[in-house]
Structure 1
């Protein structure tokens, strides 16, 4: 794949972006979700009527040059699903559930397949909401921080049972460039992080 340059003509950037996206079987709406923009914005980039901001450009470049390893993605999901810990994997920005361990399902008292692809944000405790709002200041989305541990309140019953006293968030990327968050629950503050 030809290297991108921020100074390259817009038409060339748009052509390379469209070619990469189609070759990678990524829809405009999916790329928009990953980058935190609208589908119309991705379309404008591809049609050379708008250029991405520097941060978005850097993310696009990383995705286009990163070797895709679907086997690794599936291995991560398999490890999460079969973990003996209270753990689940979500898309970092949208909070959409990708997979959850059986132990987490037992905590939630529901089958996670009914939640796959939906945002878990509506189930956030006040502490989760406050911590989420602090991520910008920590440089979370700029890769200045990749893990965070915090205390949260427990909840019995609706809208979703939460038995964790402490939560560990760990951020990394799937092979398509999607930033994901591994969420692990603990009864006591983890010492190993």
Structure 2
């Protein structure tokens, strides 16, 4: 069986990608983080030397078609920060903390300024880790589902206090294409999930 020839690089797409990225004020390294590739790979795409994989190409087309709405991103942050519920917002793949509500900060019993921009993965309970492992099977990253609810064991001490008996994850995108996860904690499973 003869191997198929490689997909031809696309200089026109690379030029459009570079123009869009610059107009959107997104660095190559940031776009690489969003798509799970290196900065050098994004550079090769823009030069037309290499073509993105089909999934990455689809995500790029979706991102490039969206109009950036910084006001919406700021509104989301404001809603999370001022929420009366125990909620926080993280980047979906890196688990990097983006913003947190005051009730969540009280639950964690710590100043969250040292956690902002860092991954919360190191604080995951066994149930959170199991839920994370299940995401591939339910098509989470392929947009086949956008929410997941699961039971959780409380933890009263180090490394981070967690009082949620039930957790709801909801996935959506910021205006720069970053997939984010809104994490909401409940004392019991809500009826409408």
Aligned length: 187
Residue in structure 2 matched with residue 179 of structure 1 by the alignment: 179
Runs of 4+ in 1 over 4 A off after TM superposition: none
What's the offset of the Cα at 1:9? 5.7
**1:154-183 alpha-carbon deviations (Å, 9 max, x no partner):** 111111000000000000000110000000
Q: Is it true that 1:162 corresponds to 2:170 in the alignment?
A: no
Cα offsets for 1:135-155 (capped at 9, x unmatched): 011000000000000011111
Offset of residue 8 of structure 1? 8.7
2:39 matches 1:26: no
SS of 2:95's equivalent in the other structure is coil
Give unpaired runs (5+ residues) of structure 2: 1-6
Contact 1:164 1:185 in 2 (8 A): yes
1:4 is matched with: none
Q: Residues 170 and 183 of structure 1 are in contact (CA less than 8 Å); yes or no, is this contact kept in structure 2? A: yes
Q: Is the 8 A contact 1:99 1:112 kept in 2?
A: no
Q: Is the CA contact (8 Å cut-off) linking 2:97 and 2:116 kept in structure 1?
A: yes
Matched, 1:38 2:38: yes
* Long gaps (5+) in structure 1: 1-6
Q: CA deviation at 1:110?
A: 1.2
Indicate the SS of the match to 1:167: strand
Aligned Cα RMSD in Å?
1.2
- The match for 2:69 is 69
| Aligned-partner SS, 1:176 | coil
Q: Secondary structure at the match of 2:42?
A: helix
- Determine if contact 1:13/1:46 at 8 Å carries over to the other structure: yes
| TM-score, normalising length: structure 2 | 0.94
- Residue 116 of structure 1, CA deviation: 0.9
Contact 2:9 2:49 in 1 (8 A): no
